[in-house]
Amino acid sequence: MSNKGSHDGRSSPRESTNAAKQRSSGGPFRVSSILAYSFGSLGVSAKLKEYRIKKIWTECVGENISNRARPIKLAGGTLYCAVSSSPWMAELNYQKSEIITRINNKLGKDTVSAIIFKIGQAIEPSSNTVPRKMPKALTEEEKDFIEKSAGRIEDASLRALVKRVMEKAKS
């Protein structure tokens, strides 16, 4: 694997070191270093993992289970899932380790370490989209951080894109 960062949004130790060297030397930044650093500091990588789990859920558990259970959130390595009924929750508890293995085989080792099933709304309210939260206004400190992080990118369109992504992640 190259040192361009892993697919789950985390930066490698080598990449973090390279980004720190670039910052201290005043040299140009690699876009991958900026994004990995920014996403990690904004907590976006955890949300990306959660989104990826939701996208592959049916593939990992099958249509039958997917119609009766769905992932709600990922906190640390624990995946919380809503299940339509108690009998299905009991059945899924028997299959828990197999589901964890399938998810980790798709998204990388240690993506999910535990699953907690709870009775709840197992069918997504609307299509396969991830629920949206209302954006919050950015503080001046957050705006300054974003401006400093993206400010050294020479390409104007790339700089604007990175700023938008960081603003959206913070709001």
Per residue in 83-134, pLDDT (tens digit) is 999 999 999 999 999 999 999 999 888 889 999 999 988 665 544 555 556 6
Segment 125-163, tens digit of pLDDT: 544 555 556 677 888 888 888 888 888 888 888 888 888
Q: Determine, yes or no, domain membership for 107.
A: yes
Q: Do the beta carbons of residue 29 and residue 22 sit within 8 Å? A: yes
- Say if pTM beats, i.e. exceeds, 0.75: no
Residues 73, 106, single domain; the answer is yes
Residues 35, 71, single domain; the answer is no
pLDDT given at position 6: 43
Name the domain count of the chain: 2
Q: What is the residue range of 98's domain?
A: 63-119
Residues 142, 114, single domain; the answer is no
The maximal CA–CA distance of the chain, rounded, in angstroms, is 60
24's tokens: 């201290």
Which one-letter DSSP state was computed for residue 76?
T
